[in-house]
Chain A
Amino acid sequence: MRLNRKVIPWIVIGVAAAAAIAAWKPTALIYGVQRAGLYAAIAIPMALVLGIVHIVNLSHGETLMVAAYATYTIAQALGLDPWLALVPVMAVMAILGYLIFQLTIKHTLKAPELNQLILTFGIAITLTQLVTLLYTTQTRKMHLSYVSASLSIGETSFGVYDFVFVAMAIAMAVALNVFLTKTRFGKAAVAVGQNPRGAAIVGIDVQKVYVVIFTLSVILTGIMGSLFMTRQSIFPSVGGPYTMKCFSLVAMAGIGNISGILYGSLVLGLAEAVINGIKGMSGWSNIVFFLLIIGVIGVRAFKERKI
C-alpha cells in the first residue's frame, strides 16, 4: 500500500471528518464504514478487470444480482444457509463468467472501445431481463437471524453483521495484492495490463490471462452477490446502481490503485451515510456518489488538460 507525503494531509482531514461525524451521529460513522466496505468489495473485481483486460464491464452490477439470485435459489432449494450455498454459487459464476467472456467479450477486444461499452450494456440488459422472466420483479429476501446481530456501546446500538463487508473488502485487497505481486501468474497478469504486446513478446499467454482474470472477477463478484443476498432484498434491477457506483470508485482511485478504492469507498460511504442521517434528505443520498464522481473526474480531467 502506497503512502507518501502528499497523502498525509488528506488522512488528517479524513480522521478529523470521521471524528466529527462520530460526535454528531455515531451510527452514521458506523453505517458509513460498513457501506464503504460493501462498495469497495464490489468495486475491486471491476478494477481488476479494468486494469488488466482494459474493459469497462457495464454488466458488473448485474453479475452481482445474478449471483444473489443464484444464492437465493440454491439456498432455498437445498435448504442451505447462504454462506454454504456460496460454494456451488461460485462454481455457477465461474462457468457464467467463462462463457460470457469466450462467447462475447473476447471478440470485441480488438474493436473500438465503444463496442465493448455497448456490448456489456447489452449483456446487462439481457441478464436483468432473463432474471425478470424467471423470477418476476417481486423482491426476494431471506430472513436470517444472525444478520440482525447488534452491539451496544454506551447509548448507541448498531448492527455488526455488515462489518463482514468491510472484512471482505480488506481480505480481497490483501489477497489480490499478494496474488498480483508475489505469484507468477499474478505478475504476468500485471505485465499484460501494462503492456499486452510486450507481454506477448516475452511469451506470456495473453488470452489465458484475460480469461482467467475475467472469470476470477466474476467469481469474486459472485461471492459478494451471495453476501449481498444475506443482507438485502433483491430484485432484478438491484444491480444497476452498483455498476455506476463501482465505476465511480474505480475512476476516482485511478486504474490499478486498489488501496485508492478502499480510501475512496470510505469517503463515499461516509458521505452517503451522513446525507442519509439528515432528516428528509435520504432520497438524495444516491446522487452524492454521482456528483462526487463527476466532480473528481472533472477536476482530474482539467488538471491533465488533454484538450
Chain B
Amino acid sequence: MKKITSGIFPISLVLLAASLPLFLGAYPQAVARSVFTYMALALTWDILLRSGQVSFGIVGFYGLGSYAAILLAVRAGMPPAVAIIAASLFAALIAFALGFLVLRLRAMYFSITTLALAEIFKVIIHNWNSFTGGPEGIVLPQVVFNGDSRALYWLSLGMVLVVVAVSVFFEKSRLHYSLTAIRNNEIAARTSGVDIFANLLITFTVTSLLQGLIGGVQVFSYGFAMPDSAFDGNYTLLPLAIALLGGIHSTWGPIIGAILLGVASEYLKLKIPYGHLLVYGLIIILVILFIPNGIYGLVRKGRSKRNG
C-alpha cells in the first residue's frame, strides 16, 4: 500500500504544478518561479549539509553561473540552452578546483571559506569592468522565449525538477550512506572504507553545478545580470531558512519550506518593505533552537512513533 501511494503522490504533485499556468495568471506564475528558484537553491544547500558541511556561499556559484551564462551568450553568441549548460559546467569546474583546496578544511573553516569565496567572486566580477560590465552589469538583448510567462514557468519547473531528481538520487544511492556516515562519525566512516575527500568533492562539485544551473536559468529568464543582484545575500539566506524550516536532510523538507516561505515572503514584502528579512533571521534562530529537524522532521518523528 505504501509503495503505491509513495509513487502516486509526487507524480500528481508534479502534474498539478505543471498545469498551474493554465488557470493562474502571470503574477502567480512569477511568484511560483521565485519559489522554484529558492526551492532549488535550498535543496542544493541541503545536499551538501547531509555530509555535515555548512555552506554560507551558495550565492557564489549561483552568481558565477549567472554571469558565465550571460557572458557566453553576449560575448560568444551561444544560444541560451548551450550557454546555461556551459555555465553550469563552468561552475562545476571552479568548484572542483577549489574543492581540492577547500575540502581539506572542515566545519567552521569550511563554512567561513565558502562565505569568503562568494565575496571573492562578487568582487572579481564587480571590478573586472572590461569583461563583466562592472557594477552596471550586462543586459541580454532578448529574454528567452520572448518573455512568455508560461514558457518561463515551465523552464523554471523543469529546472527545479532536475534538482529534486538529484536530491532524490543522493537519498537513494550509496551516497546517502556515505554522507550520513561522514556527518555522524567521520573517523569511524574512514576506517569503514569511506573516502571522505572523494565524497565531499563529488557533493560539492555537483551542488555547485546545480547552483550555476539555477543562476543560468534565472539570468535568461530576466535578461540581465548585475553584481548586486546576482550575488544578493538573499540567495544564501532564504534557502537556508527554507531548508531549516521545511526540514533538513531530506528532499521534502526544502520543498515544503519553499512553498511556505516563498508564498509568505511575497506577502511580507508588501507589508514590511524594509527589513522583512528579519522574519527569516528569526525563523532560523527559532528553528535551530526548537525544531532543529524542521517541519518534515516532525512529520517523520510522528510517523516513526506510530510505527513503533
Q: Do A and B bind each other?
A: yes
Which residues from chain A sit less than 8 Å from chain B, CB to CB?
A: 56, 58, 104, 107-108, 111-115, 117-119, 121-130, 132-133, 136-137, 241, 244, 247-248, 251, 283-284, 286-287, 289-291, 293-294, 297-298, 301-302, 306-307
B127 and A297 within 8 A (CB): no
Which residues from chain B sit less than 8 Å from chain A, CB to CB?
A: 49, 52, 54, 56, 101-102, 104-109, 111-113, 115-117, 119-120, 123-124, 126-127, 196-197, 237, 240, 244, 272, 274-278, 280-285, 288-289, 292
5 further contact pairs, Cβ within 8 A, besides A56-B108, A294-B102: A114-B111, A115-B292, A126-B278, A129-B281, A294-B117
Q: What is the distance, in angstroms, from B262's C-beta to the closest C-beta of chain A? A: 18
Inter-chain contacts of A121 with B (CB < 8 A): 56, 240, 284
B116 and A244 within 8 A (CB): yes
Which partner residue on chain B sits nearest A302 by CB separation?
A: B104
Q: How far is the CA of A301 from the CA of B105 in the complex (A)?
A: 6
B244 and A118 within 8 A (CB): yes
Within 8 Å by CB of B123, from A104, A286, A307, lies A286
Q: What is the distance, in angstroms, from B53's C-beta to the closest C-beta of chain A? A: 8
B288 and A298 within 8 A (CB): no
Which partner residue on chain B sits nearest A114 by CB separation?
A: B54
Inter-chain contacts of A297 with B (CB < 8 A): 105, 109, 113
What 10 A-B pairs are tightest by C-beta distance, nearest first?
A: A122-B284, A125-B281, A126-B281, A129-B278, A133-B275, A290-B116, A301-B104, A122-B285, A283-B127, A132-B275
Inter-chain contacts of A127 with B (CB < 8 A): 281
Q: How far is the CA of A284 from the CA of B237 in the complex (A)?
A: 25
Q: How far is the CA of A286 from the CA of B196 in the complex (A)?
A: 33
Inter-chain contacts of A114 with B (CB < 8 A): 49, 52, 54, 107, 111
B123 and A283 within 8 A (CB): yes
A244 and B115 within 8 A (CB): yes
Within 8 Å by CB of A118, from B54, B113, B274, B280, lies B54
Inter-chain contacts of A119 with B (CB < 8 A): 284-285, 288-289
B101 and A136 within 8 A (CB): no
Inter-chain contacts of B105 with A (CB < 8 A): 297-298, 301
Can you list 20 A-B pairs, Cβ within 8 angstroms, ordered by A?
Answer: A56-B108, A113-B108, A118-B240, A118-B284, A119-B285, A123-B281, A125-B278, A125-B284, A129-B275, A130-B278, A133-B275, A136-B274, A241-B119, A248-B112, A283-B126, A287-B123, A290-B116, A294-B113, A298-B101, A302-B104
Q: How far is the CA of A280 from the CA of B197 in the complex (A)?
A: 40
Q: A56-B112, A294-B102 are in contact. Are A108 and B289 (CB under 8 A)?
A: yes
Q: A118-B54, A298-B102, A307-B196 are in contact. Are A125 and B120 (CB under 8 A)?
A: no
Within 8 Å by CB of A125, from B119, B196, B237, lies B237
Within 8 Å by CB of B119, from A112, A136, A290, lies A290
A294 and B285 within 8 A (CB): no
- Of the listed residues A108, A283, A302, the one surrounded by the most CB atoms of chain B closer than 10 A to its CB is A283
Which partner residue on chain B sits nearest A130 by CB separation?
A: B278
B197 and A307 within 8 A (CB): yes
A118 and B107 within 8 A (CB): no
Q: A122-B288, A297-B113 are in contact. Are A117 and B278 (CB under 8 A)?
A: no
A293 and B116 within 8 A (CB): yes
Inter-chain contacts of B277 with A (CB < 8 A): 125, 129
B112 and A247 within 8 A (CB): yes
A111 and B292 within 8 A (CB): yes
Q: What is the distance, in angstroms, from B202's C-beta to the closest C-beta of chain A? A: 14
Which partner residue on chain A sits nearest B113 by CB separation?
A: A294
Q: How far is the CA of A72 from the CA of B301 in the complex (A)?
A: 48
B237 and A286 within 8 A (CB): no
Q: A126-B278, A307-B196 are in contact. Are A294 and B101 (CB under 8 A)?
A: yes
Inter-chain contacts of B106 with A (CB < 8 A): 306
Within 8 Å by CB of A248, from B49, B107, B111, B116, lies B116
Q: What is the distance, in angstroms, from A57's C-beta to the closest C-beta of chain B? A: 10
Q: How far is the CA of A134 from the CA of B70 in the complex (A)?
A: 38
Which partner residue on chain B sits nearest A105 by CB separation?
A: B289
Q: How far is the CA of A58 from the CA of B54 in the complex (A)?
A: 13
Q: A283-B123, A284-B127 are in contact. Are A123 and B285 (CB under 8 A)?
A: yes
Inter-chain contacts of B276 with A (CB < 8 A): 129
Q: How far is the CA of A104 from the CA of B196 in the complex (A)?
A: 32
A125 and B280 within 8 A (CB): yes
Q: How far is the CA of A251 from the CA of B107 in the complex (A)?
A: 12
Inter-chain contacts of A136 with B (CB < 8 A): 274
Inter-chain contacts of A306 with B (CB < 8 A): 104, 106
Q: How far is the CA of A108 from the CA of B289 in the complex (A)?
A: 7
Q: What is the distance, in angstroms, from A280's C-beta to the closest C-beta of chain B? A: 9
Inter-chain contacts of A293 with B (CB < 8 A): 113, 116
Which partner residue on chain A sits nearest B280 by CB separation?
A: A125
B52 and A291 within 8 A (CB): no
Which partner residue on chain A sits nearest B186 by CB separation?
A: A306
Q: What is the distance, in angstroms, from B83's C-beta to the closest C-beta of chain A? A: 27
Which partner residue on chain A sits nearest B285 by CB separation?
A: A122
A132 and B274 within 8 A (CB): yes
Inter-chain contacts of A108 with B (CB < 8 A): 288-289
Inter-chain contacts of A129 with B (CB < 8 A): 275-278, 281
Inter-chain contacts of B289 with A (CB < 8 A): 104, 107-108, 119
Which partner residue on chain B sits nearest A298 by CB separation?
A: B101
Q: What is the distance, in angstroms, from B132's C-beta to the closest C-beta of chain A? A: 12
Inter-chain contacts of B292 with A (CB < 8 A): 111, 115
Q: How far is the CA of A283 from the CA of B275 in the complex (A)?
A: 28
